Amino acid sequence: MSNIQTKTNVVIRFAGDSGDGIQLTGSQFTTAAALSGNDLATFPDFPAEIRAPAGTLAGVSGFQLHFGSTEIYSPGDLCDVLVVMNAAALKANLKQLKPGGIIIANLDGFDEKNLRLAKYAEGENPLNDKRLEDYLLHSMPITKLTRTALKDLGLSPREMDRSKNMFVLGFLYYMYNRPLEATIEDLQKKFAKKPGIAEANVRVLKAGYSFADTTEIQHGRFEVKAATMKPGTYRSIMGNQATAYGLVAASVKSKLPLFFATYPITPASEILHELSRYKNFGVITSQAEDEIAAVTSAIGASFGGSLGVTASAGPGIALKTEAIALAVMYELPLVICNVQRAGPSTGMPTKMEQGDLLQAIYGRNGEAPVAVVAASTPTDCFEVVFEACRLAVEFMTPVFFLSDGYLANGAEPWRFPKEADLGEINVRFATPDDKQNGTFLPYARDERLVRKWAVPGTPGLEHRIGGLEKEDLTGNISSDPDNHEKMVRLRQQKIDNIAKSVPAQSLDSGPESGDLLVLSWGSTYGVIKTALKQLRSEGVDVAHAHMRYLNPFPANIEELLRRYREVVVPENNAGQLVRLIRDKFLIPAIPHNKIKGQPFTVGEIKNKVWEILKES
Amino acid sequence: MSQTDTLPRQDDLPPSFTSQDLVTDQDVRWCPGCGDYSILKQVQKVLPEFGLKKEEIVFVSGIGCSSRFPYYMNTYGMHSIHGRAAAIATGLKITRPELSVWVISGDGDSLSIGGNHTIHLLRKNPDLNLLIFNNQIYGLTKGQFSPTSPQGKVTKSSPMGSVEHPFNPLALALGADASFIARSIDRDPAHLQAMIRRSHAHKGTSLLEVYQNCNVFNDGAFFTFTDRATKSDSVVVLEHGQPLLFGAERRKGIRMDGGGTPKIVDLDADGYAESDLWIHDEKDLFKASLLARFFDNPTEPGALPRPIGVFYAVERPCLEAMVHRQLTYAREKFGEGNLDKLIEGDSTWVIR
């Protein structure tokens, strides 16, 4: 019998053709890990092409899962186990494997043709290469074994091959001592209408499990115990899904019908897919004819008293720019979700980047301030998009919600809230009583400088709004010089006033003052948290603040920054938050940038901290 | 008696507001003599007839001379950005189906910069009214050719004449499967009023193209169709179920020859009866398509007369009605949405 060793955390990377079901295998194993009580984080890394030529390096799709019995904040840097379905997958991913790591290879993906497509030299097979001696290699003819397991089911070879990812899954379940039941149930539910396919998948899953068992895999088996997580009920969730739920929650809490209009774009489309299923919440989704129609129809809906939301990624946001400025001018609520991807232009659609912060804050003509908030983890998307809706409605303004491809497709356990736990969203509609001396002033403001929302259908409040500069109070067209400056400053001050409505910036970890503060925003959170935790255990205590509110900044941010001798700002861009910090406070914050379409590794953060501490 | 005159009033109750109630306190800033004044006046004149409440009416516009319109209508209104009124109005109408939504646009706004939204609006068919003020010129930017300017048009941006072929707006609209298309002229107030009534009465997107004179940058673009001396020979007024008759004495007609080609005939000289003529049928897509192609240069000899009136009007399901039917169906089938259940999902685990 194999000896089961206990591990605190494990990183598995699945890699194969984008048609190999890699993402599905990864997410199935994720579910199994979650149900076993592990903390986890995932990172799907796939090519932009839906079905890139099979067997090629360009077609390699990856899925990385980090699970453990300790708190997990990132999908991990290097992996412990690399699953490769073909030669190209091995070539593209070997550098991601730890020395001494385990390779599970599909022998059938290393035939002459696959080796040639992966651009190995004539006669070279990496599986026989000396270089692999540093690893524990498990090669097995997965395709053949799968076909053998299914030979009496009357399926075509093509149909049979679709189940081969289940073989890997079964193998890993044995290796990590996971029960099969939940996955079997899941497969039966998923293929309820195709019992033949369900049967094939279950059979191959079991075949993989038994294969691992009977071949007595020599490295033994591992166990990753349940993590000590905060007590509560959990589920697993991905960022785009959490964003969709957050929008529905905001609609429920504000009692405003949700109107969500977008044009399909990677990596934001799943928000549309999710929301289009929630019609029984009164959610209206509109797949608009283009990005501009998406945002403008959301503005039209907002004028009518709905919660108008649009979503996109960089290129689409660029197209929406003029309309966002119109909403600034109208002073109507509008939420713009930007699931950022590597730019500029079409860039790298399936790769992450934090390149659109300055676009969100400044990217419009004229002085057109909007609020900007950003999510830090997949589950945080829920809370932050909810907050974006609250700010939009309570301050009658467009609000940017920033996510990115890494959060959108990454999954983690979520100790989800109940409706009753959610904050309030206070809507202030104008009523016929808001007329003063028989006149309605659509741009009269309260002490926060916020106007009321006067929606069509309200008798006596008929009024016109427009993109032309408006006279204070009446909203009539005005080109008066003093009025223009007044209105520009009013609109800016209204956005600045949001700072009074949001929590002060807190420290995520580390000392209250000292040598170094790591200041971050967005999806870098998990990696930085992990890096600083490791540094702390190595005796280096560095402070970490992670910003959710990027415009306006929380009121105390300058005071916080000045408590440290140095401030470093890691970002997956060429330096955007760091520029804002330097600009606003004349603090010589240090940029730390990675612009590869990939998140930072823990090591890259630690090295930068060491470097700064050594110099100072 | 014409079919448009017999259209019943929309409501038996006395109007809840008057034309005067629709006038805002804003000075109208169109150039003196602009055709837009007439259109504004006719809209204000007929709107009280529809049995609507003033607060249920929304005018949405883009950018251009025509798009100043909402500022002069004492209803709810949105003056927006160039070309986007149709999309804004679609979002408004889907979420507030009970509102009476009017999109005011020009040839540049809705056929150039906003061309995409226009065709998609017509395809989706929400129940709203689109008025395109076609003056075949860019007025607000002081006189460049537009997508409806005739080829050869000399303007500030085409000193040797525009080399571009123009759009035929109604033919374009039929190509986008519009459910209602009509044409009228700023200088024919009675006809324009009738067409506004028909536009409002239509369930679905109604496209009303209004030939509008820009007396500053394109004066006289439609004079052939409005001048007393020429209009009776160059305009044919479409009436459902009626023969296509025109001319000062209404003794000229249009007849479809055996090959499906429209021909001008003289009832007296050619010996045809009215019953031999093309009988207009608003429900006939084939006929409407041919009529939309009556687009000859009116000054050329033998030119077909330019039709005004309702070319095509059929009912098909409206976007917002279908959207809301799905919402109702979803609520019946799955019950009113429960946020806690949604968030919880199918698969949870408990940490103690």
DSSP B150: P
Please state, in angstroms and rounded to a whole number, the distance separating the CA atoms of residues B286 and B295: 16
Tell me the average pLDDT across A185-197.
89
Q: What is the percent of chain B where pLDDT is above 70?
A: 96
Please indicate, yes or no, whether residues A212 and A267 belong to a single structural domain of this protein.
no
Residue B31 has pLDDT above 80, yes or no: yes
For residue A306, the chain B residues in CB contact (below 8 A) are 95-96
Interface pTM, i.e. ipTM: 0.96
The residue of chain B with its CA nearest to that of A31 is B347
Residues B352, A234: C-beta atoms closer than 8 Å:
no
Please indicate, yes or no, whether residues A258 and A398 belong to a single structural domain of this protein.
yes
Angle at A137 between CA A135 and CA A138, to 5 degrees: 155
Please state, in angstroms and rounded to a whole number, the distance separating the CA atoms of residues A581 and A579: 5
Confidence label for A593 from pLDDT (cuts 50, 70 and 90) = very high
Residues A284, B94: C-beta atoms closer than 8 Å:
yes
Q: Give the least confident one: A12-21, A268-277, A337-346.
A: A12-21
Residues B84, A289: C-beta atoms closer than 8 Å:
no
Please indicate, yes or no, whether residues A216 and A269 belong to a single structural domain of this protein.
no
Q: What's the token pair of residue A476?
A: 């009539």
For residue B69, the chain A residues in CB contact (below 8 A) are none
Q: Does residue A274 lie within any of the structural domains?
A: yes
Confidence label for A216 from pLDDT (cuts 50, 70 and 90) = low
Query: Which residues between 428 and 457 in chain A have a beta carbon less than 8 angstroms from any beta carbon of chain B?
Result: 456-457
Confidence label for A228 from pLDDT (cuts 50, 70 and 90) = confident
Residues B26, A234: C-beta atoms closer than 8 Å:
no
User: What one-character-per-residue DSSP string does A498-519 give?
Assistant: GGGGSPPP--SBS-SSEEEEEE
Please state, in angstroms and rounded to a whole number, the distance separating the CA atoms of residues A494 and A486: 12
For residue A236, the chain B residues in CB contact (below 8 A) are 347
Are residues A443 and B50 in contact, defined by beta-carbon separation less than 8 angstroms? Answer: no
Q: Does residue B45 lie within any of the structural domains?
A: yes
Output the pLDDT for position B346. Answer: 86
Q: Give the least confident one: A144-158, A460-474, B312-326.
A: A144-158
Confidence label for B11 from pLDDT (cuts 50, 70 and 90) = low
Q: Give the least confident one: A177-181, A353-357, B194-198.
A: A177-181
Residues B91, A323: C-beta atoms closer than 8 Å:
no
CATH code of residue A342: 3.40.50.970
Q: Characterize A15-38 residue by residue with b for buried, 16 or more Cβ atoms within 10 angstroms of its Cβ, and e for exposed.
A: bbbbebbbbbbbbbbbbbbbbbbb
Q: What's the token pair of residue A385?
A: 């998009």
Q: Of A226, A233, A296, which is closest to B88 when you measure between CB atoms?
A: A296
Burial class (CB in 10 A: 0-12, 13-18, 19+), B288: buried
Residues A234, B344: C-beta atoms closer than 8 Å:
no
Q: Which of A388, A421, A454 is the last residue of a domain?
A: A421
Please indicate, yes or no, whether residues A604 and A575 belong to a single structural domain of this protein.
yes
* A19-45 per-position pLDDT tens digit: 788 888 898 899 889 888 899 999 888
Please state, in angstroms and rounded to a whole number, the distance separating the CA atoms of residues B80 and A117: 54
Q: Does residue B254 lie within any of the structural domains?
A: no
Q: Does residue A606 lie within any of the structural domains?
A: yes
Please state, in angstroms and rounded to a whole number, the distance separating the CA atoms of residues A236 and A34: 7
Please state, in angstroms and rounded to a whole number, the distance separating the CA atoms of residues B183 and B208: 5
Q: Of B120, B333, B351, which is closest to A289 when you measure between CB atoms?
A: B120
For residue A305, the chain B residues in CB contact (below 8 A) are 95-96
Q: Of B54, B117, B327, which is closest to A279 when you measure between CB atoms?
A: B327
Q: Which of A223, A257, A278 is the last residue of a domain?
A: A223
Q: Between chain A and chain B, how many beta carbons pairs sit less than 8 Å apart? A: 201
Q: Of A233, A293, A456, which is closest to B96 when you measure between CB atoms?
A: A456
Q: Does residue A284 lie within any of the structural domains?
A: yes
Q: Does residue B54 lie within any of the structural domains?
A: yes
For residue B342, the chain A residues in CB contact (below 8 A) are 245, 248, 278, 281
Q: Does residue A445 lie within any of the structural domains?
A: no
Q: What's the token pair of residue A278?
A: 């929630």
For residue A460, the chain B residues in CB contact (below 8 A) are 55
Tell me the average pLDDT across A202-218.
87
Residue B335 has pLDDT above 80, yes or no: yes
Output the pLDDT for position A217. Answer: 66
Please indicate, yes or no, whether residues A333 and A216 belong to a single structural domain of this protein.
no
Please indicate, yes or no, whether residues A209 and A104 belong to a single structural domain of this protein.
yes
Residue B1 has pLDDT above 60, yes or no: no
Nearest to B19 by CA among B54, B39, B48, B53: B48
Residue A246 has pLDDT above 90, yes or no: yes
Tell me the average pLDDT across A447-454.
98
Q: What is the percent of chain A where pLDDT is above 90?
A: 82
* A367-393 per-position pLDDT tens digit: 999 999 999 999 999 999 999 999 999
For residue B64, the chain A residues in CB contact (below 8 A) are none
Q: Does residue A382 lie within any of the structural domains?
A: yes
Q: Which of A292, A296, A471 to probe by mutation at the B interface, max B CB count within 10 Å?
A: A296
Output the pLDDT for position B3. Answer: 43
Place of tokens 């408006």: A470
Q: Which of B88, B100, B320 to probe by mutation at the A interface, max A CB count within 10 Å?
A: B88
Residue A537 has pLDDT above 80, yes or no: yes
Place of tokens 């980090």: A66
CATH code of residue B111: 3.40.50.970
Residue B132 has pLDDT above 50, yes or no: yes
Residues B95, A293: C-beta atoms closer than 8 Å:
no
Output the pLDDT for position B12. Answer: 63
Confidence label for A54 from pLDDT (cuts 50, 70 and 90) = confident
CATH code of residue A588: 3.40.50.920
Please indicate, yes or no, whether residues A251 and A355 belong to a single structural domain of this protein.
yes
Q: What's the token pair of residue A443?
A: 């741009």
Output the pLDDT for position A295. Answer: 98
- Number of domains observed in the structure of chain B: 1
Please state the φ and ψ torsions of residue A33, each to the nearest 5 degrees.
-65, -40
Residue B187 has pLDDT above 90, yes or no: yes
A470 forms beta bridges with: A477
Output the pLDDT for position B5. Answer: 44
User: Which pTM was predicted?
Assistant: 0.93
Tell me the average pLDDT across A228-246.
94
Sheet holding A232-238, edge to edge: A411-414, A232-238, B349-351
Range of the domain at A113: 4-223
Q: What's the token pair of residue B12?
A: 């038996």
Q: Does residue A471 lie within any of the structural domains?
A: no
Cα A38 to its chain centre, rounded Å, is 20
Q: Does residue A470 lie within any of the structural domains?
A: no
Residue B7 has pLDDT above 50, yes or no: no
Q: Does residue A195 lie within any of the structural domains?
A: yes
Residue B9 has pLDDT above 60, yes or no: no
Please indicate, yes or no, whether residues A205 and A354 belong to a single structural domain of this protein.
no
- Does residue A471 sit at the B interface (CB-CB below 8 Å)? no
Tell me the average pLDDT across A194-200.
91
Please indicate, yes or no, whether residues A316 and A214 belong to a single structural domain of this protein.
no
The residue of chain A with its CA nearest to that of B333 is A280
Range of the domain at B116: 13-221
Q: Does residue B196 lie within any of the structural domains?
A: yes
Q: Does residue B226 lie within any of the structural domains?
A: no
- Number of domains observed in the structure of chain A: 3
Amino acid at the residue A8: T
Q: Does residue B75 lie within any of the structural domains?
A: yes
Average pLDDT of chain B, as a whole number: 94
Q: Give the least confident one: A11-20, A210-219, B236-245.
A: A210-219
Nearest to B211 by CA among B178, B174, B169: B169
Output the pLDDT for position B209. Answer: 98
Please state the φ and ψ torsions of residue B79, each to the nearest 5 degrees.
-95, 125
Query: Which residues between 7 and 36 in chain A have a beta carbon less than 8 angstroms from any beta carbon of chain B?
Result: 31, 34-35
A422's CB contacts (< 8 A; 6+ apart) are A249, A253, A386
- Of residues A615 and A359, more confidence is placed in A359
Q: Of B88, B116, B352, which is closest to A297 when you measure between CB atoms?
A: B88
Q: Of A231, A301, A303, which is closest to B351 when you measure between CB atoms?
A: A231
Residue A616 has pLDDT above 90, yes or no: no
Please state, in angstroms and rounded to a whole number, the distance separating the CA atoms of residues A418 and A83: 38
Tell me the average pLDDT across A246-270.
98
Q: What share of chain A is helix, strand, coil (3-state, %, to 5)?
A: 40, 25, 35
Residues A280, B351: C-beta atoms closer than 8 Å:
no
Output the pLDDT for position B351. Answer: 83
For residue B348, the chain A residues in CB contact (below 8 A) are 233-235
Please indicate, yes or no, whether residues A312 and A361 belong to a single structural domain of this protein.
yes
Output the pLDDT for position A482. Answer: 98
Q: Does residue B89 lie within any of the structural domains?
A: yes
Please indicate, yes or no, whether residues A252 and A219 belong to a single structural domain of this protein.
no
Tell me the average pLDDT across A542-560.
98
Query: Which residues between 303 and 332 in chain A have a beta carbon less than 8 angstroms from any beta carbon of chain B?
Result: 303-306, 308, 322-323, 326, 330
Q: Which of A174, A195, A223 is the last residue of a domain?
A: A223
Residue B2 has pLDDT above 90, yes or no: no
- Does residue A117 sit at the B interface (CB-CB below 8 Å)? no
CATH code of residue A162: 3.40.920.10
User: Chain A: nearest CA to B171, how far in angstroms?
Assistant: 21
Please indicate, yes or no, whether residues A245 and A376 belong to a single structural domain of this protein.
yes
3-state secondary structure of B254: strand
A193's CB contacts (< 8 A; 6+ apart) are none
- Of residues B350 and B202, more confidence is placed in B202
Q: Give Rg (Cα) of chain B.
A: 23
Confidence label for B260 from pLDDT (cuts 50, 70 and 90) = confident
